[in-house]
Structure 1
Amino acid sequence: MFKHPITKKTSELDGMKRINLTLKKNQQYLQKVQQQLPKNLANHCIHVVFNKNKLTLYTDSSIWASKLLYQRIQIIDAISKSFCEPVQSLSVRVVNEQLKLTIKKPIKPSAQTINNFALSTIHTSQKNDVLNTALNKLIKVLKG
């Protein structure tokens, strides 16, 4: 009936566990790369991703990216020897300023919308209504 029965046990390395292990492994790669580089160059290595024998190194500017490319052989050798995994290629990418996390403020409704909302709650007949009290609190927060 079913190709894969529901009672089939899934691997322990599913979901968040797999993601967490991958992030820890990438952090170890980053630390190893930073150990092999001069301090001023290592400070500009932001993140490393190792996937399918390809190492991608993220930096914060194109100047540092070109300097990191000169260290390509040294980086590949360090990762290959330390983790016993062959590295076929190394690419360096620049993290754009626009990609950095920015905190977005929520969109507040206009004053007219808040007033219309307030008028609709005034016309309700029950003043002890739980919903009415909650809406009045919301209106106070939006106005303030």
Structure 2
Amino acid sequence: MTKKLTSFKAALSFPNRTIAHFYSQIKQQELILQRIHEVLPAAIAEHALHCVVNGKKLLLYTETSAWASQLRFYSSVMLAAIAPITRESISIVQIKVRGETSLTGRKQEMPAGEGSLQTTSFGRKPNIPSAEKIAFIHDYSLNVADSQLKQALLRLSSTLEKLSKTKPQTD
């Protein structure tokens, strides 16, 4: 019995321009992220996690909104640094915060409530001041000369008053 030889080629052995295009995009995004890490201060650079070029926009992903605000200060520096290595002229840097994940790695669902002020922190409760302190903030705001500060203190006192009237939910 002779063995019959079959010629079989794996699917990835055929030339495929689509896969090659995706690989080139991934390589370009890695180069851009590497260049961004080079121009940012070390403490901030480690929080620039991923980047994607979308038209004339650079999307940069980070962990929290605090790091996003720090990265926004360096948007012009990042644009100047990546200009020589991008295929298109990028003029906008948009910084996005990656979704929060729990210890299991799954995305946390945020409770949806109509007009409710709820937090999704892990076991932390808001610290609402006493009614006397809320009244003091309100009374003090009426005597402030600066109108912008006065409005801010009035909004703060009304928000704290609303939060103090809501009953805490038991888990």
Shorter-chain TM-score range: 0.5 to 0.7
TM-score (structure 2 length as normaliser): 0.48
TM-score using structure 1 length: 0.57
Deviates more, 1:93-102 or 1:36-45: 93-102
Corresponding residue number in structure 1 for 2:48: 45
- RCO higher in 1 or 2 (8 Å CA, sep ≥ 6)? 1
Q: CA deviation at 1:101?
A: 8.5
Residues 79 and 85, structure 1, Cα contact 8 Å, conserved in 2? no
Structure 2: runs of 5+ lacking an equivalent:
1-14, 107-171
Partner of 1:79: 82
Q: CA RMSD of the aligned region, Å?
A: 2.6
SS of the aligned residue for 1:49 comes to strand
Conservation of the 8 A alpha-carbon contact between 1:44 and 1:64:
yes
Other-structure match for 1:54: 57
* Pairing partner for 1:88 from 88, 91, 104: 91
SS of 1:97's partner is coil
Structure 1: give runs of 5+ residues left out of the alignment.
1-10, 104-144
1:26 counterpart = 2:17: no
Answer yes or no: is the 8 Å Cα contact 2:47–2:63 preserved in 1: yes
CA separation in 2, counterparts of 1:22 and 1:62?
Answer: 27
| Residues 101 and 89 of structure 1, relative CA distance in 2, 3 Å threshold | farther
Report which of the two has the higher share of helix: 1
Shift of 1:18: 2.0
